[in-house]
Amino acid sequence: MDLPPVGLGTMAIENHETITTAIDLGYRHLDTAQIYDNEGVVGNAIAASGVDREVLTVATKVWADSLSTDDIVSTTETSMDQLGVDRVDLLYIHRPIDTYDPQETLAAFDRLYKSGTIGGVGLSNFTVDQLEVAQRELSAPIAAHQVEFHPFWWSADLLEHAQTSEYPLVAYSPLAGGTVQESETIVDIAAAHETTPEAVTLAWLLSKPTVVTIPKASTRQHLEANLQARAVTLTDDECRRIDEIDRTLELYPE
């Protein structure tokens, strides 16, 4: 799936005007999830924006307790009602745990894809082994794989798999809950570019082939800043320095 370099993560956003502002600024990839309990907020934002629905990529995720065939179908219908759409552009398996069964779950996603109910099958928080099982079971291609990915927690193996298989790796929590401001390495590089640690972090992510990202932002200023980070270009040495930061801070373990 062809995804914009910077989209909007909407977890914990409760005001649809924030998302409408993002759309007005040029965001075209909106990411939510059933467990966020804000699909209706995203739907209201889409309706209020006046932007042509066809230019938006609307993504949501089926939670781990709803991965049987019947639950996938019923919860997806509920998601579409909440979002106000007749198709989910990108539907993820949120985590391959609890009721996840590769054969049953992936077959149900395949049927939704073939029927046109969803535009792409997404996976989230999978291991390489789980991705390879999914590739064998799915008829549809993997449209995207979404994982926690920031300077303090990322997987070279998952990145390599995405690049080899040619699907986008969607980086969530890219700013590590704001802790990128505490990294001496990132702060030093930001000073050299006369920009912010957040902009440097997003530029580092986008320097990696196949990686796109969905930072959350709640103010117009931060929404604009995240888009402007696309203009920051880091040197190979600066990217290497960020690559070498210790990866010990996982914000969302299973």
Neighbours of 184 (CB within 10 A): 8
Residue 48 to residues 16, 17, 110, 191: CA-CA distances in angstroms? Answer: 8, 8, 32, 39
Q: How far apart are CA 44 and CA 98, in angstroms?
A: 31
- Tell me the residue length of the chain: 254
In sequence order, the 6+-apart residues with CB closer than 8 A to the CB of 37 are: none
> Which spans in 85-183 are helix H?
102-115, 128-137, 156-165
Q: Is 36 a catalytic residue?
A: yes
Secondary structure tally for the chain: helices H, strands E: 10, 8
CA dist., res. 235 & res. 246, Å (int): 20
Q: Which DSSP letter does residue 150 get?
A: B
Q: How large is the angle between the packed helices 69-83 and 102-115, nearest 10 degrees?
A: 40
Distances (CA, A) of 110 to 92, 105, 128, 140: 12, 9, 20, 6
Chain-centroid distance of CA 108 in Å reads 22
Question: Which H helix or E strand runs over 242?
Answer: helix 236-243
Among candidate residues 36, 92, 100, 172, the one labeled active-site is: 36
Q: Is there a contact between 138 and 109 (Cβ–Cβ < 8 Å)?
A: yes
Which residues belong to the active site? 36
